[in-house]
Amino acid sequence: MSQSNAHTTPAGTEVPPSTDASKSRWTFLSNHAHVLIALYADPDLVLREVALKVGITERGVQRIVQDLEDEGYIRREKMGRKNHYQVITHQPLRHPLEAHRNIGDLLRLISR
């Protein structure tokens, strides 16, 4: 006999067990989107800080920033020893299901 971790409400409906969000291995947005969101929120972040926020390696962030820059989604401007990033908000989203929207639409939806 297997035992379920679900519980029953006073109304008699069964509720599945809660899951620990920290154990989840996937998110609805890609790491590219997470990096873009982080740089939009703070254009002067160093990539080490972006990596900590996104939860990937600094090298992974470097590759993503290069991808975003190569495809025209961000511009990088050297300011002294630091970089300043500008997100190009009018660029369309890349997947055909979202291509009718642009980066700015996504950022406005996600930003606080």
- What does the pLDDT look like over 21-51, one tens digit per residue? 556 688 899 999 999 999 999 999 999 999 9
The predicted model gives 75-92 an average pLDDT of 96
pLDDT tens per residue, range 86-97: 999 999 999 999
The CATH number of residue 79's host domain is: 1.10.10.10
What DSSP line would sit under the chain, residue for residue?
Answer: ------EE-TTS-EEPPP--GGG----SS-HHHHHHHHHHH-TT--HHHHHHHHTS-HHHHHHHHHHHHHTTSEEEEEETTEEEEEE-TTSBPSSTTTTTSBHHHHHHHH--
Which residue range forms the structural domain that includes residue 85? 28-110
**Domain presence at residue 10:** no
Report pTM.
0.77
13-17 contacts, C-beta under 8 A, 24 or more apart: none
Question: Considering its fold, how many domains does the chain have in total?
Answer: 1
**Domain presence at residue 5:** no
The predicted model gives 47-57 an average pLDDT of 97
Query: Which pLDDT score, from 0 to 100, does residue 11 have?
Result: 53
